[in-house]
Amino acid sequence: MANHTRILPVLDLEENFRVEGVIEHMKDRWLYTIPVSLLYFTAVHLGQKYMETKNPWNLRMPLVIWSGLLALFSWLGTIRITVFLILSIRENGIFPTICGIREKLDNPCWFWLYLFVMSKLPELGDTFFIVVRKSKLHFLHWYHHITVFIYSFYMCAHPQSGMIWYAGMNFAVHALMYTYYTLRAARVYIPRKCAMFVTTCQLSQMVVGVALQLTSSYMLYKGYNCDTSVQDIVFGMCIYASYMVLFADFFYKAYIDKKEKKKVK
């Protein structure tokens, strides 16, 4: 079993975490994410209507604190999950980490996977700052928040080995993204190439996510002892494929299309 104690100290809170009760608790309750998502969707659009006749709120310092805390949390999660993933790949090879190491996940890893899932609820608060500051709200933003929220809780109720990859990638990309947001909110100059790099990382995450789903389906088809199901793969593929298309479209419009239009002018 990959063990955090080889490289990182382990807190009692992490070591004593027991995932069995969490999984059982989530079996039916993950469906509560759907009415919560509908409530979020309604609040976002009502908020936009309300702000149409209002001046944008500043909230610069609250945004710095909010993004900074999420950045710190994401960096901690990245370190924890990445260390475990690297150790697991070294001991078991890459394919078992995709399809067959669920029983080998140690308590600290489960603890951070659980925190990863739970973090998707407060992350919905990102949209509050966009709405009240009257920034442009893209379809990608609220669609991504809703679907990640639902899918993460679904994975908590139906855990599979691949979730260590999904959580690890998401933690790492969010660590970069929220650090970028924190610096921007603090009015620190950041080159445009940094924003492009963050979006590239987001798009790359979706490409890898699709690749992981395809790998899982292949291994399941070939008869490997995978701790995933056809339902899990179909759900995950729909999620990641839609993200890949939307992030590719966003990347093109934000960086390539604008650059071409500037050349024409």
Q: What is this structure's pTM? A: 0.90
Question: At 94, is the pLDDT very low, low, confident or very high (cuts 50, 70, 90)?
Answer: confident
pLDDT at residue 5, rounded to an integer = 47
pLDDT tens track for 53-65: 999 998 999 999 9
User: Long-range contacts made by residues 194-202, C-beta under 8 angstroms, separation at least 24?
Assistant: 196/254, 196/255, 198/173, 199/247, 199/250, 199/251, 199/254, 199/255, 200/251, 201/172, 201/173, 201/176, 201/177, 202/173, 202/177, 202/247
**Average pLDDT, stretch 239-245?**
96
Active site amino acids: 144
Residue ranges per domain, the chain? 17-191
Our measurement of the distance from residue 192's CA atom to the centroid of its chain's CA atoms, rounded to an integer in Å, reads 23
